[in-house]
Amino acid sequence: MTRRHPVVGAVAAVALTFLLGPILLVVGVAFTAGDTIEFPPRGLSLRWFAQALSYGPFLEALRTSLLVAVAGTVLALALGLPVALSLNRGGARPRGAIGTLFTLPVVVPELVLGYALFQTLMVTFRVSAFGALLAGHTVLLLPYAVRVTGASLAQADRSLEEAARGLGAGGWATFTRVTLPVIGPGVAAASVLSLVTSFNNVPLSLLLNGPGTTTLPVAMLHHVEFAFDPLVAAVCTLLLVLAVVVMLVTERLAGFTDVLARQEADRWRP
């Protein structure tokens, strides 16, 4: 049995404190009975959670966030799946270059991407704020659709597809009845990653913001500019619980960790 060095344990403890400390602080503030942000709380209460679930501006922003996240995820998968198929099944020579091209939205700073989309879509082509916001989130989510589903395609058994074609199935029938069920966990993982990324996005949503298109993170940011109450802390705690539940359910049903491990292995494969 390997014995850990005391320095390693100390560094790990400091790292965990640095990572989990702010989260525990926010959760503690959310349960306060006071009217302002203070830690440790003077008393415990659930009133800020009740107010968070009935606060009009946050509920309207939540609907916008959900609409943009779901629509952006569907569009990103609709565009990313054919790209992943062409990269893994088409045998194109510039596979690395094309794969890198679809990774750029993650590499480019979101402020730069958001400003470019603002100038191009909203200023030049007069696209509505919601259309520009949806286009920006779709572009941002494309790398997750391409990379994660591509990792599942790389691990899929091609002999199943060849057998389906040998039995007379066409390209669409082979994809819908064989390929898609096999890469289902990868599609589910890409969907969850895309939904969480879109829902929590601030830079793009802030730059492409307009009347009636305020997302929940932007609404929370505006709220803390003028108020010093624990309402935002309660919302953050609810979102944290929701994210943990979604991740656990996805891991249980789709093998989230296995899909991401395959994606990382495919990333470094020559």
> What's the rounded mean pLDDT across residues 53-57?
92
Reading the block at residue 106, the tokens are 């993650």
Greater model confidence, 102 or 97: 102
Chain mean position to CA 46: 29
Handedness of CA 160, 162, 163, 164 (dihedral sign): positive
Contact between 194 and 77 (Cβ < 8 Å): yes
Please report the pLDDT score of residue 75 as a whole number: 96
Greater model confidence, 139 or 96: 139
SS3 44: strand
Contact between 61 and 53 (Cβ < 8 Å): no
> What's the rounded mean pLDDT across residues 206-211?
86
CA angle 3, 8, 13 (to 5 degrees): 115
What is the 8-class DSSP label of residue 178? I
- How far is Cα 95 from Cα 87, in angstroms, rounded to an integer? 6
Reading the block at residue 208, the tokens are 């492409």
> What's the rounded mean pLDDT across residues 107-119?
90
Q: Which residue has the tokens 């696209």?
A: 127
- How far is Cα 20 from Cα 17, in angstroms, rounded to an integer? 5
Contacts of 112 by beta carbon, 8 Å cutoff, 6+ apart: none
Per-domain residue ranges of the chain: 61-229+256-268
Contact between 152 and 81 (Cβ < 8 Å): no
> What's the rounded mean pLDDT across residues 66-82?
95
DSSP string of 58-69, one letter each residue = HHHHHHHHHHHH
- Given a cut of 70, whether residue 266 has pLDDT beyond it is no
Greater model confidence, 66 or 41: 66
Q: Which residues of 170-191 are buried (b: 16+ CB within 10 A; e: fewer)?
A: eeeebbeebbeebbebbbbbbb
Average pLDDT of every residue of the chain: 84
- Second CATH level (architecture) for the domain 61-229+256-268: Orthogonal Bundle (1.10)
Chain mean position to CA 89: 26
Please report the pLDDT score of residue 5 as a whole number: 67
Q: Which residue has the tokens 């259309």?
A: 131
